[in-house]
Amino acid sequence: MVRVLDAGFLTTIQDRPRHGLARYGLSEAGPMAPSSYLEANYLAGNEEALPTLEITMKPPRLLFHQATVIGLAGADFGWRLDSRTLPTGQSIEVRAGSTLQGDYCRSGLRGYIAFHGGLAVARWQGSAATHVQSGLGGRRLERGDELALHPRSTMALRVLREHANSPVFNGQYKVLRVVDGAHLHLFPAEASSLLSGAIYRVTEQSSRMALRLDGLALPNPTEPLLSCGAWQGAIQIPPSGIPQILGADHPATGGYPILASVIRADFETLGQLRPREEIRFGRVSIETARQLFRRQDEWWKALR
């Protein structure tokens, strides 16, 4: 059992995305930074991806009533177990009575705590992922909550090998690689090149639903658009002309045209973007996007 002494800014239970409910208006939820989610599970000794805690900006403070092994990944929170500073990239043994805590994130935005055997939480429609806007699935943690853990089994402690999904930098800016969107043909010819050439800043209005940006306004579509399906990573252009990027808790449908879409291999970078951080977009082909995702997927299979 783990007791929540302080819930932090936004700490939720996240699991593999929940597919197949878009027809009911519910997006898939799941981790915003999927590579860190998998890293944490690996370090906790889990042979498959199990429910974890996703932490945003300010971490929770947790009291462990039982011994276990945990994995920490993602943003740097300066984690401490009692008075001991914790190393990164390796399994952490926790004794009963210990307290885990940290500070506001020093780099990145989201971190993950995985527990050996996973959290003992009920899955809904195949996943324990929390959909924050609807409150369905897992839950957002509150002070005083108690989290049950599955019984611990014997495991070898692990060290994480170098991650192959580092952010792409162009000078001081992070670059999100994108493919052409479903509604590119509705925009003036220069819209795509303007998107790739501009620098945008992430605003404080961002959330798990969408990253709101500030920067160059793009030309509006030349034709109207009816509402259509939406997906994580889609770059919508609202009437203001300033792009927004949909996150894991995106609406299932939307009426804003989609000019481009962030590739899946860059979802980790997308999920770690902080308010006021500046980004650029770089176009790649569909085949390149597939190759990058396959390379990432093969790395994880080899790691396990």
In a domain, 155, yes or no: no
d(CA 12, CA 129): 8
User: Kindly report the CA angle at 162 between 160 and 168, in degrees rounded to 5?
Assistant: 135
In a domain, 161, yes or no: no
pLDDT given for residue 230 in this prediction: 93
Does one domain contain both 198 and 117? Answer: no
- What would the pLDDT profile of 107-160 be if each residue is shown by its tens digit? 999 999 999 999 999 999 999 999 998 889 999 999 999 999 988 777 778 888
Local structure of residue 272 (DSSP, 8 states): T
Does one domain contain both 242 and 143? Answer: no
Does one domain contain both 285 and 177? Answer: yes
Q: Which residues, in sequence order, are bridge partners of residue 202?
A: 213
pLDDT given for residue 47 in this prediction: 86
- What would the pLDDT profile of 41-89 be if each residue is shown by its tens digit? 999 999 889 999 999 999 999 999 999 999 999 999 999 999 899 988 8
**This model's pTM is above 0.85:** yes
In a domain, 162, yes or no: no
In a domain, 81, yes or no: yes
In a domain, 158, yes or no: no
pLDDT given for residue 165 in this prediction: 61
| Count of structural domains within the chain | 2
In a domain, 92, yes or no: yes
Provide the domain limits for residue 233. 168-303
CATH code for the domain in which residue 278 is found = 2.40.100.10
Does one domain contain both 7 and 91? Answer: yes
Does one domain contain both 186 and 74? Answer: no
Query: pLDDT > 70: what percent of the chain?
Result: 97
Does one domain contain both 186 and 278? Answer: yes
Any residues with CB less than 8 A from the CB of 74 and at least 6 apart, and which? 33, 36, 37, 39, 40, 55, 108, 110, 111, 112, 272
